[in-house]
Every structure is written in structure tokens, then in C-alpha cells.
Amino acid sequence: MGNTTHQYGKVILAGAGPGDPELITIKTVRYLQQADVVLTDRLVSNDILEKYVHKDAEIIYVGKQCRTGPSTPQATINELLVMHAAEGKLVVRLKGGDVSIFSNILDELQTLTENKIPYEIIPGVTAALGSSAYAGIPLTARGYSTAVRLLTFYKSDVVSEEYWQELAATNDTLVFYMSAETLNGVVENLVKNNIAADKLLAVVEQATTPLQNVYISSLYDYGRTAIQPSFLSPSLIIIGKVVGLHEQFKWLENSNTHEHYFTTINSNASIHQNIIAE
């Protein structure tokens, strides 16, 4: 069906999963096969684009990269969605992981409703769940934790002083997105608030990809090492007693490599470069 024009355009907001191209839903694959235009994030496996997108479809990279590198302004993404849907096209807006977790879906939903463009939302496997499965760290293992919190600490004012006290005291498993570069701050705040020593820290780097690495440390040891490791993007942080289960249930060895799985946006690339999938 690719490249056919539909009387009314439609936008499919879909999650691509965390990395492993097989962790995408059948429903999203079906829409990728039918789409005229695919607007994709940086954290989407190239394999997904190569294997599932129709050869006549237009793929537009609208990646955002935290802190470094150029990124496509949200206003441009919104304009592209409206422009292509207004031409009667079937547009898939593909996002890494799940569409609703730490993404700009609200902006896009508002744009679509303001412009009366029909849409569907398809969930994806979020990084917390991909990391948990591929690192053998069950997030709410019985006897260890009864809840999990999805958090971020990408800048210092997103977590208040009182909330750090609460995070240090709770038995809930803590998952931090977009926080590998600010990990020192996360550890410092939890240690300052006397987090229990049996709660461990895991950093899952490039989770679910062939380049996955899992680093485990006690929060107290982490603070003592003079040289702090630096983690490749994307990395996810998991903190809690459940991290102790990794040793027993890890089923995937570390790749021990330090190459990037996802294409890094280099500063020479145009902000939304069009390519035609082979």
C-alpha cells in the first residue's frame, strides 16, 4: 500500500521499542509497511527502518540528542506532521521505546487535534522494561519491591530536596531515564539521604542491542571511586534491592564493546535529511 494517497491523512504515533528490532509490535510493523512517510527519532534501530518501511516511503530523521548535537525543533516536527497528513498521506511518527514515556507526545497530540488530523497511538516496550528483561533484573520481584517509579534527573531542579529524602527511603525500584550524565548527582543525593546499603545501582548501556553492557555497583562504592565511568548513550539507571538479582539471573553477557548502536547525529548532518529506504 506504500505511497498510495488516502483521502484523509492520518498520523500513527508508534513506539519502536528500546533497540532490539524484534521488540516492536506487529501493529506498528503493519503500519510501517503501509506508510507513505515515516518521521523517526534517533533511538530507533536502523534495522527497523530497513526491514519494515516500504521501499517507496519517505523516511525523515527528526532526532533529538540530549545536550549534544543538533536536534530538530519540536515546531518543525509538528509542521512536518501536519504538512504530510494534509496531503492525505499515512504518516507514522516512530519514537524510541514507548510513545508516552519521556517523549514530546503531548505537543504532537495537541497539534494533531488543533488541526483535526485523525491519529492512533500504539504503545512500545519502554527502556525500563527492555533493560529489566535483558539485564535479568525483575523490577517488582516478590519480596524485594512492590512498585517501580519512572524518573528523570536530567537537570538539577526536576527533583526537589524532599523528594530525594522520599526516594532514598522507599523500597520502590527507581528507574532514571536521561540521567547517565548526571549519575554522580543521583548517587550523591541518595547517599546524603542515607539510602540502605543493600540497594544497588545498575547502569544498562544500549539495552537490548548486541552492544549492551550492564554495570553494577553499590551506591556507597560508586561515590568512592576516583574515576567515574562514562556511559554511552542511551543508558538507563536502575536502583533498588532488585538489582542484586542480576548476578543470579543475567542471561546475556556484556558485549564489552564501546561502539554506538544508534546513529549519532553528527553536526554536519542536515536537521531533517530525507533518505529513501532500499
Catalytic one of 51, 64, 241, 250: 64
Task: State in angstroms the smallest separation of the CB of 92 from ligand SAH.
Answer: 15
Q: Most distant CA pair in the chain: distance in Å?
A: 63
Q: Which is nearer to ligand SAH, 6 or 64 (CB)?
A: 64
Give 218-227 contacts, CB < 8 A, sequence gap 24+.
219/187, 219/190, 219/191, 219/195, 220/191, 222/187, 223/187, 223/188, 223/191
Q: Is 56 a catalytic residue?
A: no
Rounded distance, CA 38 to CA 53, Å? 8
Q: Which is nearer to ligand SAH, 58 or 98 (CB)?
A: 98
Rounded distance, CA 43 to CA 109, Å? 20
CA angle in degrees (0–180, nearest 5) for 140-141-147: 20
Catalytic one of 41, 89, 98, 199: 41
Q: Which is nearer to ligand SAH, 200 or 236 (CB)?
A: 236
| Cβ neighbours, 10 Å, residue 12 | 23
- Name the grid cell of 4: 498510495
Taking CB positions, which residue lies at the least distance from ligand SAH? 97
Binding interface with ligand SAH (CB under 6 A): 18-19, 43, 95-98, 101-103, 126-127, 131, 177-178, 204, 206-208, 234-236
Q: Which is nearer to ligand SAH, 3 or 140 (CB)?
A: 140
Q: Is 64 a catalytic residue?
A: yes
Task: State in angstroms the smallest separation of the CB of 208 from ligand SAH.
Answer: 6
List the catalytic residues: 41, 64
